[in-house]
DNA sequence: TGACTCATGTCAGTATTTTGACATACATTG
DNA sequence: CAATGTATGTCAAAATACTGACATGAGTCA
């Protein structure tokens, strides 16, 4: 016996999942009235900040496979929110761009998402927020290295 | 202009998603050799710590719908990892239990998952870990209240 | 007692995501 | 220059999760 499992109340992994799940749910709630999914929004936001990102780069930035991002991008192109050149200028990479229409739909979504983030951070001091920043980046970095072939 | 979007490098929401995605990927990597998915593992761990949990309670604990958990539970019952009474003693609730076989498969998974969590926490002081605990719970609590009908 | 609300287990259909695979283009290395 | 490795875009198939719906049982309240 002696505490065999991982205590879910204490486990930082579980808390991380719980917080992320709550954030996603809150984002879905505010984005749904705009007819937008979380991945949908993430894609537009990424393109606004880094115009010319390729499908694969967008996929990595939104934490989905490039196949999933591709079907989303095709829908966004069809709806006129995003443009991609018909053929690559170099390699196979097709740099995507936000259209004015895409920029407009992003604006409303950004406001909604920001309100969620503000609510999430409510009750945290500035110091706690920078602490959270540092801690999360530490977790990310630690997980990135040593994918599977750890020691030995 | 003037910083219209949400800076992804700085956004705690984005960092939270990145950390959670990294954790999930790392867990999938170590659980795959055991033929187990993350939800699969979560279900067994929940049952080990709180025997008699119902399907709906397990679903909430693993952050999936009760329908998804139900198909998983049926598979686990079929494989002999979990048992549920044929009919409810009270209401419709069917309390689930881990079988010795289920407990055994959980043991290996717990070791694997614990190694991931240890790696994630590597480089963090004890104080930082308790700080992370407090901060994550603050986020969870803030997101839980005011689901959608916030102010006005 | 009866009407109402809420939560549960479960079935069916839909939607979304991932896995697998392929051809192609560039970079590296000998 | 040829061979190899890596990365991309894309198609098809499989797995997974979700939405919608229904019947049932318990609790509440008048």
In CATH, what number is assigned to the domain containing residue B21? 1.10.10.10
Domain assignment present for A145: no
Distance between CA atoms of residues B62 and B27, nearest Å: 14
pLDDT confidence of B128, banded at 50, 70, 90? very high
Domain assignment present for B126: no
pLDDT confidence of B144, banded at 50, 70, 90? confident
User: Does the structure show a pLDDT above 50 at B3?
Assistant: no
Distance between CA atoms of residues B43 and B75, nearest Å: 12
pLDDT value of position A58: 96
pLDDT value of position B87: 85
How long, in residues, is chain A?
A: 152
pLDDT value of position B4: 53
Q: Give the CA-trace dihedral at B30, B32, B35, B39, to 10 degrees.
A: 80
From residue A142, how far is each of A103, B17, B31, B49, B120 by CA, in Å? 35, 15, 18, 28, 5
Chain C nucleotides close to protein (CB under 7 A) are: 7-12, 16-21, 23-26
CB A53 within 8 A of CB A61: yes
Domain assignment present for B79: yes
Domain assignment present for A79: yes
For residue A140 the two structure tokens come to: 């990310």
Higher pLDDT pick, B6 / A51:
A51
Question: In degrees rounded to 5, what are phi and psi of residue B150?
Answer: -70, -110
Contact across the interface for B142 and A135, Cβ inside 8 Å: no
Listed by number, the residues of chain B in 15-34 with a beta carbon closer than 8 Å to a beta carbon of chain A are 15-27, 29-30
Interchain contact B144–A (C-beta under 8 A):
yes
Contact across the interface for B135 and A135, Cβ inside 8 Å: yes
pLDDT value of position B149: 43
pLDDT confidence of B47, banded at 50, 70, 90? very high
Distance between CA atoms of residues B4 and B80, nearest Å: 54
pLDDT value of position B148: 42
Name which of B31, B135, B2 is nearest A16 in CA terms: B135
pLDDT value of position B146: 59
Domain assignment present for A143: no
For residue B139 the two structure tokens come to: 């986020």
10 Å CB burial of residue A22 (0-12, 13-18, 19+) is buried
pLDDT digits (tens, 9 = 90+) for A68-93: 999 999 999 999 999 999 887 888 89
Domain assignment present for B146: no
Domain assignment present for A18: yes
Mutation for A interface: B18, B44, B64, B131, most A CBs within 10 A = B18
Task: Output the distance from A84 CA to C26 C1' rounded to whole Å.
Answer: 20
Region B23-40 average pLDDT: 93
Query: With a cut of 50, which residues of chain A have pLDDT below it?
Result: 1-3, 148-152
Mutation for B interface: A26, A107, A135, A151, most B CBs within 10 A = A135
Distance between CA atoms of residues B98 and B47, nearest Å: 6
Distance between CA atoms of residues A45 and A109, nearest Å: 9
Listed by number, the residues of chain A in 45-64 with a beta carbon closer than 8 Å to a beta carbon of chain B are 45-46, 48-49, 61, 63
Distance between CA atoms of residues A86 and B73, nearest Å: 48
Closest residue to D9 measured CA to C1′? A92
pLDDT value of position A9: 75
Distance between CA atoms of residues B138 and B126, nearest Å: 19
Nucleotide nearest to B63 (CA to C1'): D17
Domain span at B85: 12-115
CB B110 within 8 A of CB B34: no
Distance of CA B68 to the CA centre of its chain: 14
DSSP state of B87: S
Distance between CA atoms of residues B77 and A89, nearest Å: 55
What total number of domains does chain B contain?
A: 1
Domain assignment present for A147: no
10 Å CB burial of residue B135 (0-12, 13-18, 19+) is buried
Distance between CA atoms of residues A33 and A40, nearest Å: 13
Contact across the interface for B136 and A19, Cβ inside 8 Å: yes
Contact across the interface for B116 and A49, Cβ inside 8 Å: no
């Amino acid at each position: 016996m002696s505490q065999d499992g991982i205590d879910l109340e204490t486990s930082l992994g579980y808390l991380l999942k719980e917080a992320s799940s709550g954030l996603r749910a809150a984002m879905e709630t505010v984005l749904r009235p705009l007819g937008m999914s979380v991945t949908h929004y993430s894609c537009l936001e990424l393109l606004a900040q880094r115009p010319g990102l390729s499908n694969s780069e967008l996929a990595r930035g939104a934490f989905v496979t490039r196949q999933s991002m591709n079907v989303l991008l095709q829908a966004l192109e069809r709806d006129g929110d995003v443009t991609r050149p018909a053929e690559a200028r170099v390699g196979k990479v097709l740099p995507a761009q936000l259209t004015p229409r895409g920029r407009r739909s992003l604006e409303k979504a950004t406001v909604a998402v920001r309100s969620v983030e503000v609510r999430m951070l409510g009750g945290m001091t500035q110091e706690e927020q920078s602490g959270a920043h540092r801690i999360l980046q530490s977790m990310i970095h630690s997980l990135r290295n040593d994918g599977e072939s750890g020691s030995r």
